[in-house]
Amino acid sequence: MTGARFNLLEDPLIETADALGVSTWVDLPTVLARLTSEQELEFPGLAAHHQHPWHAFLVQLAAIALDRAKQDDPPLDAGDWRSYLLALTPEPEAWCLIVEDLGKPAFMQPPVPEGDLSKLKNSTRHPDKLDLLVTAKNHEVKAETVASHDLLTAVRQLPFLLIAYQTFNSFSGRGNYGIARMNGGFGSRPAVCLTPDLRWPTRFRRDLDILLDAREEAVESHNFAEFDGHALLWLIPWSGEAKEILNVEELDPWYLEVCRRVRVVLEDGLPMLYYGATDSARVEAKDLNGNLGDPWTPIRIKNKAKNELAALTLSDKGFHYRVVSDLLFSPEYLRPPTLDFFEDEPTDMTAVFMALVGGQGKTGGYHERYELIPSKVSFIIRDQGTHDLATLAGSRIELTGDVQKRVLKPALLALMQGGTDDLNFKDDRAQEWLGRLDRAVDRIFFNALFDDLDFTAEEKERRWQTNLWQLTESLFDEAVEILPRNAARKPAAIAQASSLLRFKARQILPAAFTQTENQHADQEGTAA
């Protein structure tokens, strides 16, 4: 491989850490072997928003390699993985980070058929210039900081960045198209899945098994190529012209995408990254709205009658409990296969939610959430489906909204407006406190939902109403202490607001007061 350097199949370019935190640099086949043999493994240099891109890359790559090798079980030996990966690429240079011959592929970098870099009009020595985060201002994540005067150190920054850039990118201006596996240019490619634990080997083995089992269904459902479809899109020459766009029918169901033209070369002994715009997206899938069988992406049913489907697009509010409830239970979403419960698994599972939210000229933030799904919930979903859980969760979400708007808000307005009888509901000063109630509910919602499943319908209702009343009363009491008010009107404002709070709460949350009143009545009867 003359003129090709830094081979991921042979060179130690990926930093790993064992159970004791001891760091070692290894090649890609060794990473796959350690994952399949379930050795403790961490990736110390991996940024939070690169976790799912790296995981998805490893799982998809392994699934493709095993399918092409006609193997059902992943090997435990790095040598076997190396031979499987080499079999995917006619030219071994495809696994090298720097390849001098522009007519050949480099890792995550398609061949440049023009033979020069004149069309790639942008360049940088800072690999993080290509990162998914839009860092217009240097706040928590600084822009253009990844650079080094040492060649090996600089090159080792590239694998995670290139994988995320090519397989998770959204639209970022004219000619800079995003991936096909998201709904529109400003969508997101989330991770929504289950796992028995959060160890890298556990998640890898579970998701790999799912992809191997789901391959045939993915081909039939999305019209992918059944045999020998394009799998590693960086192998295909790409000049950026619209006529080169690839159709879904040409692709392997687990294809690894490249959505941008990029090339790494050596200049003055250090890496320089060249990148540029294209006339079209790499994959023709605009009309599919991201519904391409991504194993981690829930699909929203936009119009059931017309079979209109679209990949989940997360807002910058992240995985709010309302969103998570819909993803877990609602019939309005098609669950990805990695979110299915299987009988032969441990009964306690963790639901994982990850996404980097895109936007026009901005990033809506990186969002993570983890929810423990206890055994009784797993059994219910496997045996009975999600209908009853969706109904219960939906009624609790609706009640929470009623409490915010019809109980807490008028009481806060009475407090803030000095106890007037004519409340101004356009006053937006209460919004911060309504948001605080929502966040308090978010913290307890799923634990309360799952804890209450063993009770009768009446007791379920009482328990949730009691939770809501306690949270609401606590927030109101805090507001009484800290909100500024006219001193002359303070006693009247507190009295009216407190009275209004309880009056509205008894209307919306009657079960929260019934038991307390009954207990008081019993105590009075005993005393008499």
Rounded distance between C-alpha atoms, residue 424 and residue 427, angstroms: 6
Whether residues 111 and 232 fall in one domain? yes
Question: How many domains does the chain contain in total?
Answer: 2
Instruction: Please state the three-class secondary structure of 190-219 as a single string.
Output: CEEEEECCCCHHHHHHHHHHHHHHHHHHHH
> What are the distances in angstroms from CA 142 to CA 124, 145, 159, 477?
16, 7, 19, 41
Cα 108–chain centre separation? 22
Same domain, 322 and 454: no
**Do 321 and 252 belong together in one domain?**
yes
Task: Read off the pLDDT band of 520 (50, 70, 90).
Answer: very low
Distance, CA of 448 to CA of 191 (rounded, Å): 24
Cα distance between residue 497 and residue 15, in whole Å: 59
Residues 264 and 173 in one domain: yes
Give the separation between CA 56 and CA 160, rounded to whole angstroms. 12
| Per-residue DSSP letter, 70 | T
Nearest alpha-carbon partner for 219 in 252, 247, 189 = 252
- Closest by CA position to 370, among listed 182, 189, 197, 168: 197
Cα–Cα distance for residue pair 49/132, rounded to 1 Å:
8
Report, as an integer, the average pLDDT of 424-433.
88
- For residues 365 and 444, membership in a common domain is answered with no
Q: Are residues 41 and 124 in the same domain?
A: yes
pTM of the model: 0.92
Q: How far apart are CA 494 and CA 489, in angstroms?
A: 9
In this prediction, residue 425 carries a pLDDT of: 84
Average pLDDT over every residue of 213-223: 96
Dihedrals phi, psi of 7, to nearest 5 degrees:
-85, 120
What is the tens place of the pLDDT at every residue in 53-64?
999 999 999 999
Q: What are 17-55's pLDDT values in tens digits?
A: 999 999 999 999 999 999 999 999 999 999 999 999 999
Q: Is the pLDDT of residue 491 over 90?
A: no
Tell me, yes or no, whether 85 and 149 share the same domain: yes
Alpha-helix residue ranges (DSSP H) falling in 132-178: 151-155, 158-167
180 and 289 belong to one structural domain: yes
Q: What is the mean pLDDT of the chain?
A: 91
* pLDDT for residue 379 is more than 70: yes
Residue 43: domain span: 4-384
Shared domain check, 249 and 394: no
- List pLDDT tens digits, range 296-352: 999 999 876 677 899 999 999 999 999 999 999 999 999 999 999 998 887 899 999
User: Can you read off the two tokens belonging to residue 222?
Assistant: 């999305």
In this structure, the answer to whether residues 282 and 396 fall within a common structural domain is: no
Comparing CA positions, the residue from 409, 405, 393, 395 lying closest to residue 321 is 393
The residues, any chain, with a CB within 8 Å of residue 151's CB and separated by 6 or more, are: 266, 269, 270, 271
Residue 73 has pLDDT above 60, yes or no: yes
| Mean pLDDT (whole number) for 97-112 | 97
- Which candidate, 216, 281, 209, places its Cα nearest to that of 246? 281
Are 373 and 220 in contact, with CB atoms under 8 Å apart?
no
Does one domain contain both 324 and 449? no
Task: Write out the two tokens for 158.
Answer: 């590239």
Instruction: Tell me, yes or no, whether 368 and 292 share the same domain.
Output: yes
The residue out of 384, 419, 443 marking a domain boundary is: 384
Phi-psi region of 316 (alpha: psi -120 to 50; beta: other; left: phi over 0): alpha
Q: Which of 384, 408, 427 is the last residue of a domain?
A: 384
The model's confidence at residue 137, banded by pLDDT at 50, 70 and 90, is very low
Q: Which residue has the higher pLDDT, 185 or 100?
A: 100
Residue 308 to residues 207, 332, 369: CA-CA distances in angstroms?
27, 11, 28
User: What pLDDT, on the 0 to 100 scale, is given for residue 437?
Assistant: 98
- Indicate whether 184 pLDDT > 60: yes
Boundary residue ending a domain (384, 403, 428):
384
